[in-house]
Amino acid sequence: MSGPIPVSNSIELPAAEQAAAAAAAPASVSNSPTARAWRRFRKNRLGFTSLVIFTAMLVLSLFAEVISNDKPLVVHYSGQYYFPMVKDYSEKTFGGDFEAPTDYHDPFITQKMSESGNWMLFTLNPYGSKTLAYYSKYPFPSPPSKDNWLGTDERGRDLLAQLLYGFRLSVLFGLALMVVGVVVGIVTGAVQGYFGGWTDLSFQRFIEIWESMPELYLLIIFSAIFTPSVVLLVLLLSLFGWTSLSNYVRAEFLRNRQMDYVRAARALGVSNSQIMWRHIMPNSMTPVVTFMPFRMSAAILALTSLDFLGLGVPPGTPSLGELLQQGKQNLDAWWISLSAFVVLVLTLSLLTFMGDALRDALDPRKADV
């Protein structure tokens, strides 16, 4: 008598169904610290939305010349094509009498371009950062109109162009100041925290003396001696913008140099430079990354304040601080101060939201997603 026939509990699926099931299975999620921090950052809707909006504003400002410019993108005149944004053309090219660069808002040039077969293709906003609306129908500063969507300032410059170029200058200035401050702060903080002792003590006393120096008075003195420029401002403000981050990095190095992995690296004969930059530094990046958005917002606010006081960028350079100063002097021209205030507050708010979200994402005490 034969025994019972064994019955298998597993059901063999066809190959096509197995492939479909494998495709439907959830993909493995990376568990690296960077991936977990990024997931926590994306979960913060306010911070992630701020990052998207700020990035879009920055990209648009980087292409300000093709968005707001007093030179046309393309000119078709007498059967030929011209590209004024690439090459300057004199008035004689378009039937004028002078060798001076063409003013494409000149009524004479406009009339020439309106003749049969001739045309100009302007950017979205046909005004540059230094374009003066000579042919405006309203006195300066003029209110918003179909020609100047946000109005003009007291010099007759288009306000939308001023805001676009001024925002780009502020953000690039903040980035430059942040990079310099981060590099100097990391180096000085790492040296203090790793070696400790008299090295740390000497650096701390130097930082205390350096921070007690009157920064505003020094800026006034240097602005009176040297010609104002953006590079000079970056250098001067960089002299005082590294101390805060240096203290954070110092504290991280003081904590991490006592860890077992550092002692093991020393026992193996690893050099101090390799221990500092290859082992301790990656584990001390949390305060550095968190510091960046707040440092950038502080730099933008510092530039705006200096421009408001007349100690910032050279006159004629698009600046949010200069627009706020014009708004103070022309209280009836509400569109100047209002537009500059909105752009400044929006920029600082986005950076603050990004910094808060980044701090929460890098906090190891936060629950993972």
Rounded-to-integer distance, Cα 118 and Cα 181, Å = 53
- pLDDT level of residue 368 (50, 70, 90 thresholds): low
Is residue 58 within 8 Å of residue 173, measured between CB atoms?
A: no
Percent of the chain with pLDDT over 90: 42
User: Which residues, listed in sequence order, are joined to residue 76 by a DSSP beta bridge?
Assistant: 81, 119
pLDDT in tens, 122-152: 999 999 988 888 877 888 899 998 888 999 9
Rounded-to-integer distance, Cα 317 and Cα 183, Å = 28
pLDDT in tens, 334-355: 999 999 999 999 999 999 999 9
Residues 6+ apart with CB under 8 A from 214: none
Is residue 259 within 8 Å of residue 149, measured between CB atoms?
A: no
pLDDT in tens, 225-259: 888 788 888 888 888 888 888 998 999 999 888 88
Torsion on CA atoms 164, 165, 170, 171, rounded to nearest 10: 70
Show contacts of 41-46: CB within 8 Å, 24+ apart. 41/357, 41/358, 41/360, 41/361, 43/369, 44/356, 44/357, 44/360, 44/361, 46/353, 46/356, 46/357
Sign of the torsion formed by the C-alpha atoms of 42, 47, 49 and 55: negative
pLDDT in tens, 270-319: 998 999 988 898 888 888 888 889 889 999 998 998 899 888 888 888 99
The pLDDT of residue 25: 45
pLDDT in tens, 105-128: 888 888 888 888 899 999 999 999
Domains and CATH numbers, the chain: 70-121 (no CATH), 159-362 (1.10.3720.10)
pLDDT at 190 over 60: yes
pLDDT at 1 over 80: no
